Structure 1
Amino acid sequence: MTGHPLPPVRGIGYDAGVLYEGTMPSRPGWRVEDMRRDLRVIAGELGCNAVMIMASDLDRLVETGRAAREVGLSVWLQPRLFDADPVDVLAFLGEAAQRAEELRRSHGEVGLNVGCELSLSMNGLVPGRSFVRRGTLLPWLFWLKPVLDLRLNRFLRRAAALARERFGGPLSYGSGDWESVDWAPFDFIGLDYYLDAGNRWRFESDVTRHTRSGKPVLITEFGCCGYTGAAARGAGGFLVINTRTDPPTVPADLVRDEQEQADYLNESLDLFARAGVHGTFVFGFSEPSLPCSDDPVHDLDRASFGIVRVLPRDDEKEPESWLPKLAFGALARRYREG
């Protein structure tokens, strides 16, 4: 414990299966028993009182939300549909909002997060037909930022209005730090804010600017990978993964450093507490598509944001096993004492 009282919402992100780039599932295998075990650990051992659930399958999203409520966790549902056109994203959100309202009416304490970094994850706002391509182009397009923000906020107003028609609980959005969002349509400001070497000098003041707006702030994502140098990379820590190989690989000389990951979470929590945020959601509990390995080049877990180390398995139908990292213990101490 470092002496900074934590905000009321102490949460973590739980990936219930997101389809990236059309063919890259974040959770290659799915077992309800594994999900329920994870949520019991999140509520009991980690000391979380809330969870941010993300998924591309609405049945799985709601099923996980229901299980989370059954163990006493407040729930935020975040439907994720990557590389889809705006009309399809709105249709998906509309269905998600209706399903979320059914869950809220039956189980209570459910919020809806209408999207994640849509300027990159959705077609049509930033040039490029894929998340990776748009992310590559974005640094070269900052002269277009006013236009891009205008497009984003126009879409977010439509998204919020649609969600309000079908969902009676609180709304938020997971914004990237390059997005200037008009938060008027939302109940909570949602920030995907990752500390890194480039933003360290302004990081706390950036968050404080939002907390002084009068609307409660949720840090919808923050975290760090578990290798030496990952803290300086922040959200870009995963970029050491070479996806051009099959299967993907990481540099053989990448040094596992779980203490760096744990220290990063502690420092970030201190910064968010000083800034006065309402809640924090660590990204994330696990990344099953990045299992550990005894072979250094295939030890993808080093480039994972997960606070548990997912063990490899030969068959996706087998139970998923994991081991807690140092970050797990650090977060549990902070959340249970906070």
Structure 2
Amino acid sequence: MTLLPVRGVCYDAGVRYAKTFHSRPHWRLDDVRRDMAVIRHDLSCNAVSVMATDPRRLIEAASIAAEYDLFVWLQPRLVEAHPKTIEAVLHGLGPAARRLSVQGARVGVNVGCELTLTSRGIVPGRSFAQRGRRLPRLIHQHKTRYDRALDGLLNRLVTAVRATFHGPVTYGAGDWESVDWSRFDYVGLDTYRDARNSPVYADQIRRHVKGQKPVLVTEFGCCAHRGAAGLGASGYDIFDHRTDPPAIAADVVRDEQVQADYLTESIDTLASVGVHGAFVFAFSEPMLIHTADPATDADMGGFGIVKVTRPAAPGPDAGEQWAPKTAFHAVARRYEALAAGGDADPPPPPTG
């Protein structure tokens, strides 16, 4: 059996997480082309998961990724959107994804990310942050209701995509979400190891691998500061959002080796339990800028495996600048070693 035949990374093409925060305000195709070349040749990936709020960016990034023979998953990330809006976007994305396929690109559609939290109308709350704070308290009381609402939404989203696109489809499910995977080609799991779930992390994923569908871990990752491995997906909690810009807790110590060790161990675990593919979150976090001053080093609270030292800006010579972190080299080594076992194509599209 080939271990981890799909080796990928998540690519942030610009997500509006809040009215006041866009993760990549300046879109430069030269930056994207450079990044995709690095992802393919230096990181030894054969797949990339592109997330964006603007569907046009998804298609532009996918077209470039295809030039480097990367399989591309397209994920509209519509934080705070109502279900009808998400459905309309996916209905429009289907024909564009189909055109890419006809042109020779290898493309799949990921219909969303943890929609109980990122979309409106399932878990109560006026914002992603508010819903996130409420979920641990509410999930035990209302999980059945939330899962039922999510199931209805996913059914509409898959129907919207499959009306015109006949390639593979998945979804990025949070650990708290129970999904009927029969309508999908892949099981998709956004799952992060932390101090709480570490003893059972492998078993939780293995349970899905034993099912009928191949499994993609659509997100996993860690920040680059001491203690981040125990925090998992909550590693960004070092920020105090009561200030502008958010302040960084004074006791946070940058440690890139923590991130590198976490990702190496996670990749080895995912390969050992038999997942079909894995996507490190993330290649970069474009607006979490690295500085030499710990008081302003926002990269410590980001999941990027490269550190952005200058964000993109308008103008011909204002491209984004970044440098690889210790984790970049660690992932590259593991992916290169696993690449010796071969690559994998997606499963055939559904026939009925």
TM-score class, shorter: over 0.9
Contact 1:53-1:75 within 8 A present in 2 as well: yes
Correspondence for 2:327: 327
Correspondence for 2:272: 274
**Corresponding residue to 1:44 among 41, 45, 48:** 41
Letter in 1 for 2:334: R
Contact 1:228-1:255 within 8 A present in 2 as well: yes
Q: Distance in 2 between matches of 1:140 and 1:48?
A: 38
Contact 1:66-1:107 within 8 A present in 2 as well: no
List runs of 5+ in structure 2 lacking aligned partners: 339-352
**Corresponding residue to 2:16 among 12, 16, 19:** 19
Letter in 1 for 2:11: Y
- Residue 313 of structure 1, CA deviation: 5.0
Q: Distance in 1 between matches of 2:312 and 2:282?
A: 24
SS at match of 2:310: coil
The more displaced of 185-194 and 265-274 is 265-274
Task: Tell me, yes or no, if structure 1 residue 70 matches structure 2 residue 60.
Answer: no
Correspondence for 2:341: none
1:46-84 Cα distance to aligned partner (Å, 9 max, x none): 000000000011111100000000011111000111101
Correspondence for 1:164: 162
- Residue 34 of structure 1, CA deviation: 0.7
SS at match of 2:263: helix
Correspondence for 2:134: 137
How high is the TM-score relative to the length of structure 2? 0.93
- 1:98-247 equivalences in 2 (<5 Å): 98-142=95-139, 143-247=141-245
How high is the TM-score relative to the length of structure 1? 0.96
Correspondence for 2:296: 298
Q: Distance in 2 between matches of 1:49 and 1:313?
A: 26
Letter in 1 for 2:325: K
Contact 2:253-2:294 within 8 A present in 1 as well: no
Q: Percent identity?
A: 51
Q: Distance in 1 between matches of 2:159 and 2:35?
A: 34
Contact 2:219-2:279 within 8 A present in 1 as well: yes
Q: Distance in 1 between matches of 2:180 and 2:169?
A: 13
Contact 1:52-1:76 within 8 A present in 2 as well: yes
Q: Distance in 2 between matches of 1:161 and 1:245?
A: 43
SS at match of 1:129: coil
Equivalenced residue count is 335
1:291-327 Cα distance to aligned partner (Å, 9 max, x none): 0112222100011100001003594541111110000
Contact 2:313-2:320 within 8 A present in 1 as well: no
Coordinate RMSD, CA, aligned: 1.4
**Corresponding residue to 1:89 among 72, 80, 86:** 86
